[in-house]
Structure 1
Amino acid sequence: MAMKKPGPVLRWFARAPYVAYRARLGWLFGSRFLMITTTGRKTGTARRTMLEVAALDGRGAASAVPTLWVIASRGRNTDWYRNAVAGGPVQVDWKSYHASVRAYPLDARERVDLLADYRRHHPKAAALLSRGVLGEELTDDPEAVRRLATELRALRLEPVSREA
């Protein structure tokens, strides 16, 4: 059971940081958040969404933006997720950096590993995510992590090489 779309007030607050990213003030949000820009699969319009970075790895990055992992808390029906996996261009603003990225969906095993790692590093945020999606606390029980991974979708965002 995935979370419902936020109402208009929550959407307004969620969109307020876009101004900061456009002004190159994304560093105010630190490394824990990013703004992803996808192309609407039906409209062709640029769509921007603020996301929490579930994990990051700077090894092998082609720019100042490392490989980033993000979670679609509303599952496979999340609009930004569906736009990203549809194959259109994907851009990421992270800290004060901007990069084109390729979006790779994670399989079930990778999602379990990502969620377990996320829970270790961000236990309070993981508990909120689990309550919102499953309606229950995320525990050490591997079955609970697997249930959550079944409901969620996640992407690995890899910077596109400047040499390509």
Structure 2
Amino acid sequence: MTARNGPTGVLRLLFRAPVWIYRAGLGGLLGHRFLLLTHIGRVSGQPRQTVLEVADRDPGTGEVTIASGFGGGAQWLRNITAQPRVRFQIGRTRVEAVAELLPPEESGRRLAAYADRYPRTAAALVRGLGHTPDGAADYRAIGADRDNGIPLVVLRPL
């Protein structure tokens, strides 16, 4: 498995299992920490789906922040960069939105805030890309690195 290409084989099947949970109408079982993102394939033009962890939510605006755990080369990230109009579902709630890749500094700031709220999860996430963070400054640097780090995206409801 590489950060650029994502998981393959059995590991890919395991990562796809939450999509099946949503498709079965059981997305509520995953709580509010995960969402189903529906986006358009940049080459095929066909709808694609992936389940991602919610890094942050703004109850006032409905905006949701998500992280690319497989780095800048994740297929969903490349797809939303080409076609930012998306739909996401948290539990049973479906929302039409526009996806916006956060500027590097803001991405870094939000990743550091996420690490402060969920230190174990954040550490596991960045270790998966080969990073060994030591404090908020490292998380800010990893979040700001679009190629080898963990870029963050905000989903803005329409």
Deviation at 1:102, TM superposition (A): 0.5
- Scaled by the length of structure 1, what TM-score is found? 0.85
CA deviations on 1:64-101 (whole Å, 9 max, x unpaired) are: xx211001122221110111121253110111111111
Is contact 2:95-2:157 (8 Å) kept? yes
* Alignment correspondent of 2:50: 49
Secondary structure of residue in 2 paired with 1:130? helix
Residue 63 of structure 1: aligned partner = none
Larger radius of gyration: 1
Q: Does 1:152 align with 2:150?
A: yes
- Cα distance, 1:146 vs structure 2: 3.3
- Unpaired segments ≥5 residues, structure 2: none
Measured on the aligned residues, the alpha-carbon RMSD in Å equals 1.8
**Partner Cα separation in structure 2 for residue 2 and residue 10 of structure 1:** 14
Q: 1:74 aligned to 70, 76, 94, which one?
A: 70
C-alpha displacement at 1:156, in angstroms? 0.2
Residue 13 (structure 2) aligns with: 12
Task: Report if the CA contact (8 A) 1:92-1:99 is conserved.
Answer: yes
C-alpha separation in 1, matches of 2:111 and 2:126: 10
**1:146 aligned partner, one-letter code:** R
TM (norm. structure 2) is: 0.88
Alignment of structure 1 residues 9-158 onto 2, 5 Å: 9-60=10-61, 66-136=62-132, 138-140=133-135, 142=137, 144-149=138-143, 150=145, 151-158=149-156
Q: CA deviation at 1:3?
A: 5.9
Q: Is the 8 A contact 1:90 1:103 kept in 2?
A: yes
Structure 1 unaligned spans of 5+? 61-65
Per-residue CA deviations over 1:124-144 (Å, capped at 9, x if unaligned) read 1111112112332x22251x1
Q: Report how far residue 121 of structure 1 moved.
A: 0.9
